[in-house]
Structure 1
Amino acid sequence: MDILMIIKEASLGSFFSVINIAKIVIPLMIIMEFGRNYRVIDKISGYFEPFTNKIGMTSKASFPLLVGLIFGISYGSGVLIQSASEGDLTEKDQILLVTFLIMCHAVFEDTLLFVAIGAKGMMILIPRIIIAFILVLIVSKRILNEDENSRIRLNKFR
Structure 2
Amino acid sequence: MDIIGMLKDGFEGSIGSILNIAKYVIPLMIFMEILKDLNILDKISEFLKPISKFLGISKESTFPLIVGLTLGLAYGAGVIIKSAKEGNLSKKDLYLVLLFLVACHSVIEDTLLFVAIGANGWLLLGIRLPVAIILTAVVARYIDKLPINLEN
- Scaled by the length of structure 2, what TM-score is found? 0.67
Alpha-carbon distance between aligned partners in 1 of 2:119 and 2:92, rounded to the nearest angstrom: 35
Amino acid in the other structure paired with 1:108: I
Aligned residue in 2 for 1:51: 51
Q: Which runs of 5+ in 1 are unaligned?
A: 1-28, 146-150, 154-158
Mark the CA change 1:78 to 1:117 in structure 2 (over 3 Å): closer, same or farther: same
| Alpha-carbon offset, residue 47 of structure 1 | 3.3
Aligned residue in 2 for 1:98: 98
CA RMSD across the alignment: 2.8
Aligned residue in 1 for 2:63: 63
Moved more, 116-125 or 94-103: 116-125
Structure exhibiting the larger radius of gyration computed from Cα positions: 1
Amino acid in the other structure paired with 2:79: V
Verify the 8 A CA contact 2:45 2:59 in the aligned structure 1. no
Percent pairwise identity: 43
Consecutive aligned runs of 4 or more in structure 1 exceeding 2 Å deviation: 35-39, 41-49
| Alpha-carbon offset, residue 46 of structure 1 | 4.7
Aligned residue in 2 for 1:118: 118
Aligned residue in 2 for 1:137: 137
| Alpha-carbon offset, residue 45 of structure 1 | 5.2
Q: Which runs of 5+ in 2 are unaligned?
A: 1-23
Alignment pair present for 1:152 and 2:145: no
Determine helix, strand or coil for the equivalent of 2:131.
Answer: helix
Mark the CA change 1:47 to 1:113 in structure 2 (over 3 Å): closer, same or farther: farther
- Scaled by the length of structure 1, what TM-score is found? 0.64
| Alpha-carbon offset, residue 49 of structure 1 | 2.3
Alpha-carbon distance between aligned partners in 2 of 1:124 and 1:132, rounded to the nearest angstrom: 12
Residue-pair matches, total? 118
Alpha-carbon distance between aligned partners in 2 of 1:46 and 1:109, rounded to the nearest angstrom: 27
